[in-house]
Amino acid sequence: MRLCLVLLAAAAAAKRQQPPPPADDRQLFREALQERDFKTALKTAPAAYATWWQQLLKDDPYHVFIETLLIAFLLYLLYGTRRAKNSQKKEQALTDREIDDLVSDWAPAPLVGTASAPPPAMRVVTPAAQPGRVHVRKDTNTAKWSSGDPLTKPTKQGALNCGAFDFLAMGSSVKVREAAQAALTKYGCGSCGPRGFYGSIDVHEQLEARVASFSHTKQAIAFSDAASCCTSTVAAFAKRGDLLVVDDGISEPLRTGCVLSRARVVAYKHNDANDLKRVMEGIRQADRRKGRAPTAQRRFVVCEAVSRDHGGDVAPLKEILALKDEFGYRLILDESLSWGVLGATGRGLKEACGIEDPTSVEITCVDLAPALGSNGGLCIGTDEVVAHQRLSGAGYCFSAAAPPFYSAAALAALDILDSSEGQKRLSKLRSNASLLRKELAKAFDGDALLSVVGTNIEVDLEDDLDVPFVLLEGASSKTLDAIIDAAYASGYAVSLATPPADDAAPALPPLKKKPLALRVTTTADHGAADVRGLVAALAKASAKATA
């Protein structure tokens, strides 16, 4: 027992006499930093890092392996790719001989491509000395009348203009022309910018206020052309997820607006209120099946008051308004060919149908050319409709404003329209339009070559006003072109309405195709003898082409 106690005491004494273990490198590094002994810290840093790395490799070798790969990849990105690029540049360097060969082989492309010859149906129209008459040149790229042109001028005054949309003959009004000339002298030619920047001029705002007052609406917003007005308006209010129920006979500007909106588009038969109701009933049933509220998306009906591509058909506005109110839709109505033309005082289809509430149609687009003989378009409606487009209408925000003299001419023409002289022009136009349709229906009833385009749907108009233009559909452009030439030789200039080569759009449902037809118009400047002479010339030309 004593021996054991002696051995334990000896071992304890020996242990007390042993020197302490050396301090860890990492511990020395930390102590040096704490004592701000940076010289010692720099000396011990490599050994401390090596000890840490060896311990980490022992504890977690996979972690060390992944980090090593990442560090190597980073070094490659920093230095390896740079060397590769430098070597490629050295390899791609061309010799002087190669450079000379390339320069000698280079052939510059023309800055302007070669212009193709105009199609046979293309005609250039220039005003004649006498108002309401035009000179027509065919198949020529020159700006002057060619004495060798295959068409001979029937009179020095040219041919009677029976193919343009200037229904009230404002384009040849002396007062309108003087207003345009005065504005051109005062403001210059262009507006030099969009409306939202520095393109707004006082005549633009005066025209907006004047059109809104004339139409009995709150406000109006002016666009530089009528096509962009329709396109921009549809795209400003309808977006992806919204619903557009469109007449399948709408013209190209409205179709483009539907495509740009990216909304879902459903079509109903042209000017068929019964089919519109069928489509709306189907959408309502789909809402019930899906448990979707009708107010979950914006919904619009899009149609034309007077069809541009299908013979001047008049939309059944009363039935459309009743249906859109019943099913909870808003209406975008294109009155390009009816505003300033239809109605007792020229206020459009709403007035012609006896609709007194100006807010019954939420959004209306108008064209300045058919009634006022100017250029441009306007969207009229409530304060909200106009204010939204001043920030969201692409045609307003990003297109240059209309030249000031266009607006000045439109203001002068609107003054005429809203006067006793305007009432006389409307009365004369109404008489000529009725006579034109009656004479054409009589002359081409059963004609094998030409047929009057139109669905002949009965529309309840308060003043029974006929639209002052008609489309005469034909089989081929060659035949119609021959009829145009013969009519011109008789002193009447009509135009050819050609359908696009491919009017189908992947974003739209199948729509009604535009027919190949002659466009025949009458204006307030024409007399009854002019209208009868026009129809007789067309009938004679058709008979000659058939023989």
DSSP annotation string for 346-358: S--HHHHTT---G
Residue 249 to residues 335, 341, 402, 496, 510: CA-CA distances in angstroms?
14, 21, 29, 18, 10
Residue 182 to residues 168, 402, 415: CA-CA distances in angstroms?
22, 16, 16
Q: Looking at the structure, do residues 59 and 199 belong to the same domain, yes or no? A: no
CA-CA distance, 196 to 202, in Å (whole number)?
A: 13
Structure tokens at 404: 């000031």
Sheet strand arrangement including 469-473: 451-452, 469-473, 517-521, 495-497
Do the domain assignments include residue 513?
A: yes
Do the domain assignments include residue 380?
A: yes
What value, to the nearest 5°, has the Cα angle with vertex 270 and ends 283 and 333? Answer: 80
Half-sphere exposure of 137 (CA within 13 A, CB side): 17
The SS3 assignment for 112 reads: coil
Q: Looking at the structure, do residues 256 and 361 belong to the same domain, yes or no? A: yes
- For the chain, give the mean pLDDT: 83
Do the domain assignments include residue 400?
A: yes
Do the domain assignments include residue 269?
A: yes
Residue carrying structure tokens 């917003």: 221
Residue carrying structure tokens 């001419």: 409
Sheet strand arrangement including 363-367: 219-223, 377-381, 363-367, 330-334, 299-304, 243-247, 264-268
Q: Looking at the structure, do residues 521 and 395 belong to the same domain, yes or no? A: yes
pLDDT for 115 equals 58
| pTM of this prediction exceeds 0.85 | no
Residue carrying structure tokens 């519109």: 276
Do the domain assignments include residue 89?
A: no
Q: How many Cβ atoms sit within 10 Å of the Cβ of residue 322?
A: 13
Structure tokens at 29: 């590094």
Q: Pick from 195, 143, 255, 210: which is nearest to 394 by CA?
A: 195
Q: Write out the residue range of the structural domain in which residue 461 sits.
A: 170-546
The SS3 assignment for 460 reads: coil
pLDDT for 97 equals 85
Q: Which positions of the chain have pLDDT values less than 70?
A: 1-26, 28-29, 33, 81, 83-92, 113-157, 446-449, 454-465, 501-504, 547
Do the domain assignments include residue 428?
A: yes
Q: Looking at the structure, do residues 60 and 203 belong to the same domain, yes or no? A: no
Residue 33 to residues 26, 30, 46: CA-CA distances in angstroms?
11, 5, 14
pLDDT for 85 equals 62
Q: How many domains is the chain partitioned into structurally?
A: 2
* CATH label of the domain that carries residue 258: 3.40.640.10
Q: Looking at the structure, do residues 373 and 506 belong to the same domain, yes or no? A: yes
Residues 252, 240 contacting (CB under 8 angstroms):
no
Interval 399-418: pLDDT, tens: 999 999 999 999 999 999 99
- Close Cβ partners of 246 (under 8 Å, ≥ 6 residues apart): 254, 258, 265, 266, 267, 268, 301, 302, 303, 511
Phi, psi of 470 (to 5 degrees): -135, 145
Residue that finishes a domain, picked among 80, 113, 148? 80
Do the domain assignments include residue 412?
A: yes
CA-CA distance, 249 to 244, in Å (whole number)?
A: 14
CA-CA distance, 361 to 113, in Å (whole number)?
A: 47
Longest Cα–Cα distance in the chain: 154
Do the domain assignments include residue 30?
A: yes
The SS3 assignment for 297 reads: coil
Q: Which amino acid is at 210?
A: R
Residues 135, 123 contacting (CB under 8 angstroms):
no
Residue 276 to residues 255, 264, 289, 336: CA-CA distances in angstroms?
18, 16, 20, 22
Structure tokens at 512: 């009604």
Q: Pick from 479, 449, 471: which is nearest to 120 by CA?
A: 479
- Close Cβ partners of 515 (under 8 Å, ≥ 6 residues apart): 309, 310, 453, 471, 473, 497, 499
Residue that finishes a domain, picked among 65, 80, 95? 80
Q: Looking at the structure, do residues 185 and 59 belong to the same domain, yes or no? A: no
Q: Looking at the structure, do residues 496 and 379 belong to the same domain, yes or no? A: yes
- Number of H helices and E strands in the chain, helices first, is 20, 15
CA-CA distance, 528 to 480, in Å (whole number)?
A: 25
Residue that finishes a domain, picked among 59, 80, 101? 80
Give the sign of the dihedral formed by CA 275, CA 280, CA 284, CA 287.
positive
Of the chain, the end-to-end C-alpha distance in Å amounts to 149
Q: Looking at the structure, do residues 58 and 190 belong to the same domain, yes or no? A: no
Q: Looking at the structure, do residues 488 and 358 belong to the same domain, yes or no? A: yes
pLDDT for 206 equals 97
